[in-house]
Structure 1
Amino acid sequence: MKRDILSVLDLAGDLDEVLALAADLKRRTDGPQTLKGKSVAMIFEKSSTRTRVSFEVGIVQLGGHPVVLSQKDTQLGRGETIEDTARVLSRYVDCITYRAFSHVAVADLAKHATVPVINALDDLEHPCQITADLQTIKEWKGDLRGLKIAYIGDGNNVCNSLMLGAALTGMDFVAGCPAEHSPDKAIAKKAAAIAAEHKRASKVVTDPAQAAEGADVIYTDAWISMGQEGEAGSKVKTLRPYQINEALVKNADPDHLFMHCLPAHRGEEVTAEVMDGPNSVVFDQAENRLHAQKAILIKVLG
């Protein structure tokens, strides 16, 4: 039976194992050839640096063959249905990664594909990013359980997946977001329920200083996602009090980690002083996309 990874929740049963595998792959110089003789289609509706390069290099390192497709390279951009695309690609490749504008499209592709589908980002979740984030926190802090992670800014797809990942690994999570840009309510409710099972807390507040209080990890993301450029003016004005700067991070633990999934806009959601400061691990995060995604590919294809 094929295994799709559309949400962080799809990794719930073996997330610890995936993180351990990712760490092992990072240490090794001779990666397993799990994908030898296999091809992976990589569909990109949104442009990408980290997702494309990390997946493409990772597939090659595992012995596989990546097939990179933008909308202009496929008939999706000319009106072919998701269903037909899924059925056709399933006859050619062994797995599909999909970076899409819509979670509905990713779910639809997975429904009609007969090979595994991995969500490489959509408007609801970003499970591959969060797997790399958890790997990074574990590298720097050791055991994840009991740590407090504060996500501050726009309650977007990264925030949604991060609160699920924190809940699954026994971390306390606080999202500090303006009310009009809060994370998905259904996901927040689910994360709170999972956190409670681990005797931890997951909540959403509107005060960024409250969110940052005593945090072991401070996390933010760009305020304007691709496709939202039309609302940039009003959104930036609303989010300006949520900028990660030296004054705000003083509320966190002195040994906190600063994280950002990149690309960052210095002077907007984060100041250069924080981004380039001694607590920043953003480039470790970026590197770990390679190892975490290799671990995910091994899980779905190995």
Structure 2
Amino acid sequence: MARHLVSVTDLTDDDLRALTVRGAEFAAGARSAALAGRVAGIYFSKTSTRTRTAFSAGALRLGASIVSYGPGDLQTNTGETTEDTGRVLSGMLDILVARTAGDQAEMRGWAGQDRMAVINAMSAIEHPTQALTDLTTLWQQFGRIDDLSILYVGEGNNTATALALALARFPGVRLELRTPPGYGLPSDILATALASAARTGAQVTERHDMDELPGDLDVVYTTRWQTTGAAHSGNGWREVFAPFQVREELWQRSPKAVFMHDLPAHRGEEVTAEVLDGPASIAFRQAENKMHSAMAVLEWSRADSDGEERQS
């Protein structure tokens, strides 16, 4: 049976924790041939350096063969329904990893069958595999997710939505989001994260200013100001975002905090070069973990292969 990952909400609490730990195991050198003889489709309608490479390399390392598609390759461009496309591809592929420009509706259409696993490698709404990469990196750094204190600074984009949905599922986590006015998390995403936090004992808060920042943080996290496929229009948005730049002053009250960024980064915009390239930054280790986390997701997505030929 195939397992789909279109949203973080598709995962149980146990799934989240298991995928986090498994990603860290791959980062530590674990090996698996769980996808030997399998075929993975890699479809990206938007640009990608890290995620596309991570899933392609990860599938190959797990023993799969890959078929790659560009933005103009599928017949959905000529009117075929996503459900028909999913039905056809499921007779040939075992896994489809996809990045699209829209919401999750297209991926849900592909996932309307149980032969081929569908993995969301980023949509306009959510980037669930980035959240799993982040969890793996946190586990690698701290040996836990529970009880960590995390400050997210920047737009409430698809990385932030996935991060909030994931972190709210871990007991004792304190996630504070500081997002520019008019650029916060979608209200339904925030409501879902708050509901999870109420169940687990986590804390999720959002403000639209940079006043009264918390101290004793474990992590400061930001993303670039113009997410792939979602460039801002108008002349005034940079002035709105400017106070939310991550600078060295944020470490005055949290000297032991690490810095995370999903990359690509624009030095001098969302973060200064001194922070991104400084001693607190683990952003490039975080990027490398995209492959390790991708391997965990790919292995998990094939329930009938889970656990086969694992080596640690």
Go from structure 1 to structure 2 and tell me whether the alpha carbon gap of 1:25 and 1:226 turns closer, same or farther (over 3 Å shift).
closer
Which structure's residues are more often helix, by fraction?
Answer: 1
Aligned-pair RMSD on alpha carbons? 1.7
1:99 paired with 2:96, answer no
Shift of 1:112: 5.2
207, 219, 222: which one pairs with 2:221? 219
- Whether the 8 Å contact between 1:205 and 1:211 is mirrored in structure 2 is no
Counterparts of 1:191-206 in structure 2, within 5 Å, are 191-206=193-208
Deviations 1:151-182 (A, max 9, x none): 11100111011011111122111110123000
- Whether the 8 Å contact between 1:90 and 1:114 is mirrored in structure 2 is yes
Please give the alpha-carbon distance, in whole angstroms, between the structure 2 residues aligned to 1:45 and 1:250.
Answer: 42
1:254 paired with 2:293, answer no
Letter paired with 1:250 = Q
**1:72 aligned counterpart, secondary structure:** coil
Shift of 1:48: 0.5
- The gaps in structure 1 that reach 5 residues or longer are none
Deviations 1:212-248 (A, max 9, x none): 5332111111111223335164322211110101123
Counterparts of 1:255-270 in structure 2, within 5 Å, are 255-270=256-271
Letter paired with 1:245 = R
Please give the alpha-carbon distance, in whole angstroms, between the structure 1 residues aligned to 2:136 and 2:175.
Answer: 17
Please give the alpha-carbon distance, in whole angstroms, between the structure 2 residues aligned to 1:7 and 1:232.
Answer: 31
- Whether the 8 Å contact between 1:97 and 1:120 is mirrored in structure 2 is yes
Please give the alpha-carbon distance, in whole angstroms, between the structure 1 residues aligned to 2:125 and 2:232.
Answer: 19
Letter paired with 2:298 = L
Letter paired with 1:78 = T
Go from structure 1 to structure 2 and tell me whether the alpha carbon gap of 1:230 and 1:125 turns closer, same or farther (over 3 Å shift).
closer
Partner of 2:233: 231
**2:168 aligned counterpart, secondary structure:** helix
Letter paired with 1:11 = L
- Whether the 8 Å contact between 1:152 and 1:211 is mirrored in structure 2 is no
Please give the alpha-carbon distance, in whole angstroms, between the structure 1 residues aligned to 2:143 and 2:234.
Answer: 38
Please give the alpha-carbon distance, in whole angstroms, between the structure 1 residues aligned to 2:182 and 2:260.
Answer: 23
1:146 paired with 2:147, answer yes
Partner of 1:279: 280
Go from structure 1 to structure 2 and tell me whether the alpha carbon gap of 1:232 and 1:246 turns closer, same or farther (over 3 Å shift).
farther
- Whether the 8 Å contact between 1:149 and 1:174 is mirrored in structure 2 is yes
- Whether the 8 Å contact between 1:87 and 1:113 is mirrored in structure 2 is no
- Whether the 8 Å contact between 1:99 and 1:121 is mirrored in structure 2 is yes
Counterparts of 1:54-133 in structure 2, within 5 Å, are 54-102=54-102, 103-111=104-112, 114-133=115-134
- Whether the 8 Å contact between 2:169 and 2:202 is mirrored in structure 1 is no
Counterparts of 1:151-170 in structure 2, within 5 Å, are 151-170=152-171
Letter paired with 1:214 = D
190, 207, 210: which one pairs with 2:209? 207
> What is the TM-score normalised by the length of structure 1?
0.94
> What is the TM-score normalised by the length of structure 2?
0.91
The percentage of counterpart residues that share the same residue type is 35
